[in-house]
Structure 1
Amino acid sequence: MTTSSRSLGDLFDTFRCEAFRLETLDDYSGSGNVAAYKAFLAGEPQPEDYNAHWVEELRAHTERGKRVYRVHILSRPLTDYLRFELGWGYRRNMSGGEEFFILDTTENPSPLEHVPDFWLFDSESVAVMNYDSAGKFLGSEVLPPERAAEFARYRDAALAHAEPFTAWWAEHGT
């Protein structure tokens, strides 16, 4: 489902300085880590090797001075999936150098209503992430380069309204 010969994987392999992700869904449970999510729901402890491949990839980027960061737009109370993603995923991924921010819309409207999930690389390349209504990943769509400025504005707006994950989690996490 790409509109260019470049794929999301290619963009990850070739970005020079930064990779930004906007997450907008409350539930990605149909998109992977299904067994880990079920373990979380059952109250099992987080496996030591949870997300190990992604953490290694993150570390490879961040040790070369690249920035990988994301904003998740959400509202409270958290869904079970968000408690899993933030409690297991974000906290583990931070060990690889990924940075997280939360744009909490519990008491304020979202400044990015109807903006899709996306990755933005070096403010030059955009991949929109497509999901079905159950949070199952359907594929990414690499947009033409002229769309990058639009998505850089979305990134900037998200960051302007977000707060660092660790501060938000300390106040609102479980």
Structure 2
Amino acid sequence: MELISSAERNQLFESFARDAFRLELRDDYSVPLEEGPYERWLAGVVDNTFMDSWLSMIRQLTQAGRTVRRVRVATQPHTPYIRWEHESTHLNEEAGEQIRWLRRHELPQGLSFPLGGKDWWLFDDKLLAVGHFDDAGRALGSEVIGDPDTVAECARVRDLLWNSATRHSEYKP
């Protein structure tokens, strides 16, 4: 299995035409770029400047008429990381990204996640970028998958969860 870096994965945003969708299933992400801002937030200092390049890209995409969406599945009670994400999500939405939340215990009964329950980005119902993490939760990279059956199953799960999830503006942790 070949993995691409986060920077290479972000290049996929340059080529999608209509819709990019992210499914987040982890309650914590050990992303090096976020470590300093997260630690400062835990100490009571808010510094979201690390998000500037992401937010700029999202603004460009959504102003060009493309859709960027995500569903965050979160365990109750929320981890500190999820509380931090929730507090800063308004920045993603102000840039044009649509984010919804789903409490893990409210997942549709009998739902089986494709790809072993890994997180993924789905681009235009054609291409997946599947996140891989080590045992400590650090991102290893993304696996690019174009298999039509796998893509179709992820699109089905996306639609089910998107319709079941709560808009960020209405979600109260």
When the two structures are superposed, what TM-score results if normalisation uses the length of structure 1?
Answer: 0.85
Is the Cα–Cα contact under 8 Å of residues 29 and 37 in structure 1 kept in the other structure?
no
1:108-145 Cα offsets, whole Å, 9 max, x none, are 56734542100000111111011123321110000134
Q: In the alignment, which residue of structure 1 is the partner of 2:161?
A: 158
Correspondence list, 1:20-169, <5 A: 20-44=21-45, 46-47=46-47, 49-88=49-88, 90-106=89-105, 111-113=111-113, 114-146=116-148, 147-168=150-171
Give aligned pairs, total: 165
Q: Please, which runs of 5 or more residues in structure 1 have no aligned partner?
A: none
* Structure having the larger proportion of residues in helix: 2
1:31 Cα shift?
4.4
Mapped to 1, the partners of 2:42 and 2:63 lie a distance apart of 33
Identity %: 34
Structure 2 segments unaligned to the other structure (5+ residues): none
Equivalent pair of 1:22/1:117 in contact (CA under 8 Å): yes
Q: CA RMSD in A?
A: 2.0
Q: Is the 8 A contact 1:130 1:140 kept in 2?
A: yes
Paired AA for residue 164 in structure 2: H
Note the C-alpha offset of 1:156. 1.2
TM-score (norm 2): 0.86
- The CA distance in 1 between the partners of 2:103 and 2:47, in whole Å, is 28
